């Protein structure tokens, strides 16, 4: 027979093995690379099943494989988040595979920078489409299933909190010269976050945003020689930062360095935990202490 103290030890062992996000279903856009990939894998290590998204098949599959390697489940929803049908398609992928939605991370985005006198209508609109309209469509598509689930849980006497984490930037909070369109799109994320927190509070959905500062990714890599052109959708986007500006940023950041993608993912993860069930409508800077 198992003694009482052995029984307690077994129970404690099981509790330690329980993962914080066990069997939660998470949607993470832009998760084939960089910060998005780190977010998806971080959630998966705590038990979440993840719908992965990227423009291309290969990076999406790499993230799916990484998630399966840590013992969780994943499936890919490949495509452009700005497509008019994408929100419905991503939500449908989650429902068809796992029957529900618990976490939505609107991460997909990129900078297409210029000063105002050189910015085209297309450049301006693309920044609004990817950073504001795409998350709006995903959240709108998720509204009915989330509301239905909340109603069923209420009737069963349950309270289950769901999480929305929208990704903004310090450019969206404070503005940044040369990034008018990007700053506007990321500022829209902040307004959307605070409005939706008020709309969805009745359904026990926590809606928050993380505004990143300088995080070291391929989009913020040091430029060597000519600026790097990267094809995103139909556009050639110049990525990278001049070395002298990186040095300046590192001097300005109180922690003295740019963040890693894993640290960026950690900030998002905090808003996905059950410990954050009474936090909503907030914007947290993950910027190493930089306030500009």
Active site residues: 182
Please, what is the Cα angle at 63 between 61 and 68, to 5 degrees?
95
Q: Where are the extended beta strands (E) located within 60-218?
A: 74-76, 103-106, 162-169, 205-212
Task: Give the separation between CA 129 and CA 135, rounded to whole angstroms.
Answer: 9
Task: Give the separation between CA 157 and CA 64, rounded to whole angstroms.
Answer: 35
| Phi-psi region at 237: left, alpha or beta (left = phi > 0; alpha = psi -120 to 50) | beta
* DSSP assignments along 127-146, one per residue: HHIIIIIHHHHHHHHHHHHH
Q: How far is CA 151 from CA 104, 138, 141, 160, 259, in A?
A: 19, 20, 17, 11, 40
Q: How far is CA 190 from CA 110, 138, 261, in A?
A: 16, 16, 21
């Amino acid at each position: 027979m198992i003694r009482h103290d052995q029984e307690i030890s077994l129970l404690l062992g099981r509790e330690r093995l329980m993962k914080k996000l066990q069997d939660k279903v998470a949607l993470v856009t832009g998760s084939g690379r960089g910060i998005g990939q780190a977010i998806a894998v971080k959630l998966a290590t705590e038990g979440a099943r993840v719908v992965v998204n990227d423009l291309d098949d290969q990076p999406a599959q790499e993230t799916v494989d990484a998630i399966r390697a840590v013992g969780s489940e994943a499936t890919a929803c490949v495509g452009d988040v700005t497509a008019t049908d994408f929100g419905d398609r991503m939500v449908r992928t989650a429902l068809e595979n796992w029957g529900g939605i618990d976490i939505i991370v609107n991460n997909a985005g990129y900078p297409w920078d210029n000063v105002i006198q050189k910015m085209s209508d297309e450049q301006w609109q693309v920044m609004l489409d990817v950073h504001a309209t795409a998350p709006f469509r995903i959240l709108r598509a998720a509204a009915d299933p989330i509301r239905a689930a909340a109603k069923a849980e209420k009737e069963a006497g349950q309270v289950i909190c769901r999480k929305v984490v929208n990704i903004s930037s310090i450019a969206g909070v404070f503005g940044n010269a040369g990034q008018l369109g990007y700053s506007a799109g990321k500022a829209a994320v902040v307004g959307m976050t605070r409005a939706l927190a008020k709309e969805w509070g009745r359904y026990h959905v926590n809606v928050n945003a993380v505004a990143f500062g300088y995080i070291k990714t391929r989009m913020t890599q040091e430029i060597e020689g000519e600026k790097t052109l990267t094809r995103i959708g139909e556009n050639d986007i110049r990525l990278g930062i001049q070395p002298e500006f990186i040095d300046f940023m590192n001097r300005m950041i109180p922690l003295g360095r740019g963040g890693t993608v894993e640290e960026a993912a950690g900030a998002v993860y905090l808003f996905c935990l059950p410990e954050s069930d009474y936090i909503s409508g907030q914007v947290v800077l993950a910027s190493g202490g930089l306030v500009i």
